[in-house]
Amino acid sequence: MKLNCIAVDDEPLALGLVCTFIEKTPFLSLKGSFSNGIDALQAIQNDNIELAFLDIQMPDLTGLELARILDKVPEKAPRIVFTTAFNQFAHEGYKVDALDYLLKPFNYEEFLRAATKARQHFDLVRRAEEQSVQQPVTAKDNHLFLKVEYQMVRVVFEDILYIEGLKDYVKVHLESSARPLLSLTSLKSLEEKLAGKGFMRVHRSFIVNLSKISAVSKTSITIGAENIPVSEQYKDDFNRYLSQWM
């Protein structure tokens, strides 16, 4: 299966080179090339783009700024391979969960290495989705089982503080551990499993354990030391829940 790709770079020669490399790679499919981040954002919103080769230094909207915008809409966000002539951006690139980072000038061998890393990532995601269909996450009265790395981990509902959705994973933050569990599943799937168990989705990226809320403001919830946003999409449901206790 081919990965749907776009290339974004304000330098015509660099953009042409990346397009050539994409078209040369059998498991990639070029769906568009763009000289600015604004046009690229529109294409991502309208099409099923899985992978973006994205320059960082661009006018109007930089590659990092585009990545941060996409990070707020994980359902539509492609995975990103940054391309840049400036190695000082590497740390920022990984902070926005970039798959890889190509330092210009790069050759096809280096490009192929990054593309192969992307293919392996999507292969892993698809295998996990297939396994979840065959062996769905099971939920009991007070716990569920999550696949974490290569094992099934029992998680008691009462121990869950909140769940954070990433692009392809979820982070389950626990009261008993400073380190969250990272599981290759979707927030939507867990929302269904936790229905009627004292949990509520309050943001496209967060599900909270209602019993762990210590404070509430107009736009956020406090659980422990964390402030979790309540988005407009879920505010009415949350306010209805609050009204029962006022």
Least confident of 35-39, 72-76, 186-190: 72-76
Is it true that domain 143-243 has CATH number 2.40.50.1020?
yes
pLDDT class of 96 with cuts at 50, 70, 90: low
- Domain coordinates of the chain in residue numbers? 3-132, 143-243
Q: Using N-to-C axis directions, what is the helix angle for 63-71 and 37-46, rounded to 10°?
A: 30
Q: Which of 116, 228, 211, 118 is nearest to 168 (CA)?
A: 118
For the question of whether the overall pTM of this predicted structure is more than 0.85, the answer is no
What is the percent of the chain with per-residue pLDDT over 90, rounded to a whole number?
Answer: 45
Q: Is the pLDDT of residue 219 over 90?
A: no
Give the pLDDT confidence of 44-91 residue by residue, as tens digits. Answer: 988 889 999 999 989 888 888 998 888 776 666 889 999 988 766 555
Give 76 or 236, the one with higher predicted confidence. Answer: 236
What is the C-alpha separation between 81 and 98, in angstroms, rounded? 6
What is the C-alpha separation between 179 and 138, in angstroms, rounded? 23
Domain 3-132 -> CATH class: alpha beta
Give 90 or 204, the one with higher predicted confidence. Answer: 204
Which residue shows structure tokens 């492609």?
A: 78
* 143-243 and 3-132 share a CATH fold: no
Give 52 or 134, the one with higher predicted confidence. Answer: 52
Average pLDDT, the chain: 86
Over range 149-159, report the average pLDDT.
Answer: 86
